[in-house]
């Protein structure tokens, strides 16, 4: 990891690079793979979280009802891990993309808050955030930037707080799905980065872009279902491929026309 991939090494035609760079609206769908190079483990595959931990106990409403102490211990551990980690070049390139495209959204399945820390502003957190706590009684949400201290944490009303994340068997918030679907439908290009694309409705978002006539560009360590319909699939580490792709895009004619006063580009 950390290898400096040369922009010219990317298997992308000049025409495709021009179309990606010349688009007005774009979005990025991210999954756990975008934070892997920050040291945050992914869910599936060898060494993945669901190989080590039982999701039924830790990431379902039933698991929380049965043992909130255990669930909170795990989330506290994850909060500590995530706080220690730093955004990697993939997060920073994505934050930079927001400054290039006229319309741009990050649609993330991650709960780690890394995109915001890297400087992205327009982030739709499809599965919630580990940095928000929600009262189980009245739904009141509070924000935090430090790991919980008392376990289980309590709301001012005395009821228990839970992580404001989406667990298995729970629906995503309607507002979030609507915002993400709208962004996907209006994107002339969607980058799909570091996701196995097996969890819905997130996995349907690139299909919406494709069906609306947009380009789908995948960046992932291995092939997924998205590979079967993507306009390009770049296989490798997101922290190496995205900087190389970004470098190549910044050299295109359309990019230079839009940013004529930016020096050193
Ligand atoms: P997964 O763990 O299912 O998939 C991560 C993907 O990233 C895999 O396809 C890896 O090959 C790829 N990958 C790993 N390291 C990479 C790197 N450095 N660069 C690029 N790609 C890399 O994670 P998600 O797709 O995010 O949901 O999982 C989706 C949802 O399932 C999660 O949000 C979570 C989980 O259960 C809930 O908890 C509700």
The CATH number of the domain where 184 resides is what?
Answer: 3.40.50.1220
What is the reported pLDDT for 196? 97
233 lines ligand 1 (CB under 6 A): no
**Residue 259 C-alpha to ligand 1 middle, in angstroms?**
34
- Given 110, 139, 165, which residue is the final one in a domain? 165
Helix (H) or strand (E) holding 161: strand 161-165
222 lines ligand 1 (CB under 6 A): yes
Number of the ligand 1 atom closest to the C-alpha atom of 43: 2
- Given 143, 165, 187, which residue is the final one in a domain? 165
220 lines ligand 1 (CB under 6 A): yes
What is the reported pLDDT for 18? 93
- Given 142, 165, 188, which residue is the final one in a domain? 165
What number of CA atoms fall less than 13 Å from residue 32's CA on the CB side? 16
List of the chain residues with pLDDT < 70: 1-4, 253, 259-265
Residue 152, preceding bond cis, omega within 30 degrees?
yes
Q: Give the tens place of pLDDT for each residue, 187-228.
A: 999 999 999 999 999 999 999 999 999 999 999 999 999 999
Range of the domain at 49: 41-84+130-165
Number of the ligand 1 atom closest to the C-alpha atom of 197: 25
Same domain, 111 and 201: yes
Same domain, 77 and 178: no
What is the reported pLDDT for 3? 64
Q: How many domains does the chain have?
A: 2
**Residue 32 C-alpha to ligand 1 middle, in angstroms?**
4
**Dihedral sign (CA 253, 256, 260, 265):** negative
What is the C-alpha to C-alpha distance for residues 196 and 213, in angstroms, rounded to an integer?
A: 23
Same domain, 92 and 218: yes
Q: Report if residue 111 sits inside a domain.
A: yes
By alpha-carbon position, which residue is closest to atom 33 of ligand 1? 109
78 lines ligand 1 (CB under 6 A): no
Q: Report if residue 264 sits inside a domain.
A: no
Q: Report if residue 15 sits inside a domain.
A: yes
Q: Which residues does the annotation mark as catalytic?
A: 127
The CATH number of the domain where 145 resides is what?
Answer: 3.30.1600.10
**Residue 257 C-alpha to ligand 1 middle, in angstroms?**
36
207 lines ligand 1 (CB under 6 A): no
Same domain, 108 and 220: yes
Same domain, 189 and 218: yes
Q: Report if residue 265 sits inside a domain.
A: no
Cα 184–chain centre separation: 14
Cα 27–chain centre separation: 11
Best residue among 221, 233, 242 to mutate for probing ligand 1's pocket (most ligand atoms within 8 Å of CB) is 221
What is the reported pLDDT for 163? 98
Tell me if 230 sits within 8 A of 29, measured CB to CB: no
**pTM metric for this prediction:** 0.94
What is the reported pLDDT for 16? 95
Q: Report if residue 62 sits inside a domain.
A: yes
Q: Report if residue 211 sits inside a domain.
A: yes
Same domain, 68 and 144: yes
Structure token digits, residue 33: 């793979």
Q: Report if residue 61 sits inside a domain.
A: yes
Same domain, 222 and 151: no
Same domain, 182 and 248: yes
33 lines ligand 1 (CB under 6 A): yes
Best residue among 43, 124, 200 to mutate for probing ligand 1's pocket (most ligand atoms within 8 Å of CB) is 43
């Amino acid at each position: 990891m950390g290898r400096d991939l040369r922009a010219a090494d990317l298997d992308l035609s000049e025409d495709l690079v021009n179309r990606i760079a010349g688009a007005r609206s774009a979005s990025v769908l991210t999954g756990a793979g975008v934070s892997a190079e920050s040291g945050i483990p992914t869910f599936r595959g060898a060494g993945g979280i669901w190989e080590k931990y039982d999701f039924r106990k830790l990431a379902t409403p039933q698991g929380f009802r049965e043992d909130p102490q255990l669930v909170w211990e795990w989330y506290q551990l994850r909060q500590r891990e995530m706080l220690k980690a730093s955004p990697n070049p993939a997060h920073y390139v994505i934050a930079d993309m927001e400054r290039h495209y006229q319309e741009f959204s990050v649609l993330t399945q991650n709960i780690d808050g890394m995109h915001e820390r890297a400087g992205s502003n327009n982030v739709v957190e499809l599965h919630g955030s580990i940095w928000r706590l929600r009262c189980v009684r009245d739904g009141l949400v509070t924000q935090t930037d430090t790991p919980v201290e008392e376990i289980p944490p309590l709301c001012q009303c005395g009821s228990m707080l839970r992580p404001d994340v989406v667990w298995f068997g729970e629906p995503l918030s309607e507002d979030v799905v609507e915002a993400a679907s709208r962004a996907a439908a209006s994107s002339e290009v969607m980058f799909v980065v570091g996701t196995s694309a097996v969890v819905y409705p997130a996995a349907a978002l690139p299909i919406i872009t494709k069906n609306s006539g947009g380009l789908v560009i995948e960046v992932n360590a291995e092939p997924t279902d998205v590979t079967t319909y993507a306009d390009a699939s770049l296989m490798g580490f997101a922290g190496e491929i995205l900087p190389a792709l970004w470098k190549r895009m910044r050299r295109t004619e359309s990019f230079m026309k839009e940013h004529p006063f930016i020096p050193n580009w």
